[in-house]
Homo-oligomer: A and B are copies of this chain.
Amino acid sequence: MKVAIVGVGLIGGSIAITLREKKVATRLVGVDKSEHNLKKAIQLGLVDEGMTIDEAVDHCDVIFLTIPVDAILTILPPLLDRVTNQVIVDMGSTKERILARVTNHPQRGRLVAAHPMAGTEYSGPEAAVANLFKGKMMVYVDAMDSDEDAFETMEAVTEHLEMRTTFMNAQEHDVHTAYVSHISHITSFALALTVLEKEKSQGRIFELAGSGFESTVRLAKSSPDMWTPIFRQNRENVLEVLQEHIKQLQHIQEVLDNENYDAFYKLIKKSNKIRKILK
């Protein structure tokens, strides 16, 4: 199977590593608007050669789109115009707008929308790692809109990545990711900004940063090129969660302001229920 990776960064590069390792890909083609990243990806052995996106579509059987979601939105319609029997896999972090744009496309069946719930705060080809996806969740979105053979091709890939799978529609997907992924990034950005601001006047503050701080703030290293378009496309859902999150923080603030430590204790105890969910 000839595979094209459009966007040879963290996600695309990590897929490439596994598909080569498992001998699923007989040929790996990289497409990237950054010459530098493409060269690097070839150097690192992630892909065998670089092509333009049109060449890649014509030469390959499966084309993975692992680029920012605004770029997916733009290139997907012309890509489907060009496709015959190939499979296009949209791996973006938002789905409603992207899928709405191609919902009536005659080649819609060649598209599989999937979102791997895996990643790190790093980006670019150097960030690609083996086993990034192992044990993680692959979310198939509006899977019934894909041709059966296209879906099966992707399912085989997901098995090689050793991922678990779940299915949902685009609207559900975008709400759920707002709650368990997008808001986490916003809290990290805000926390980083809060502390960076304080450091300016106070200095030395980071000397004391331990693993707890690092854990809550590490997502603030995330790429603005990748994340700005996600927030743009999932704006309404994110605003809803953000509003609720601010309300929770204001409640904690009020409880602390009133020195109501019984209520404070109960809030922590209630938040401890997250233990059932996180192992």
Contacts and interface: CB of A to CB of B under 8 A. Distances in A.
Contacts of A257: 239
Contacts of A80: none
Contacts of A278: 209, 214, 217-218, 221
B228 A196 contact: no
A252 B242 contact: yes
Size band of the A side of the interface? 35 or more
A249 interface: yes
A208 B194 contact: no
B206 A180 contact: yes
A243 B248 contact: no
A25 to B, nearest CB: 25
Interface stretch (A2-10, A105-113, A181-189): A181-189
Contact of A180 (B139, B205, B220): B205
A95 B193 CA distance: 26
A209 B272 contact: no
A250 B208 CA distance: 27
A164 B146 CA distance: 57
A277 B196 CA distance: 10
A208 B176 contact: yes
Copies in the complex: 2
B215 A218 contact: yes
Overall SS of chain A's interface: helix
Contact of A224 (B176, B184, B269): B269
A177 interface: yes
Given A196-B271, A198-B179, A278-B214, A117 B208 contact: yes
Contacts of A217: 184, 274, 278
Interface string A214-232: 1111111111100110011
Given A198-B241, A205-B179, A222 B268 contact: yes
B207 A137 contact: yes
A214 B177 CA distance: 13
Contacts of A23: none
A191 interface: yes
* A-B complex: 5 closest residue pairs judged by Cβ atoms: A224-B268, A192-B271, A117-B210, A190-B248, A192-B274
Given A195-B274, A197-B248, 10 more contacts: A117-B208, A117-B209, A184-B212, A184-B213, A187-B191, A192-B273, A216-B216, A221-B274, A238-B256, A242-B252
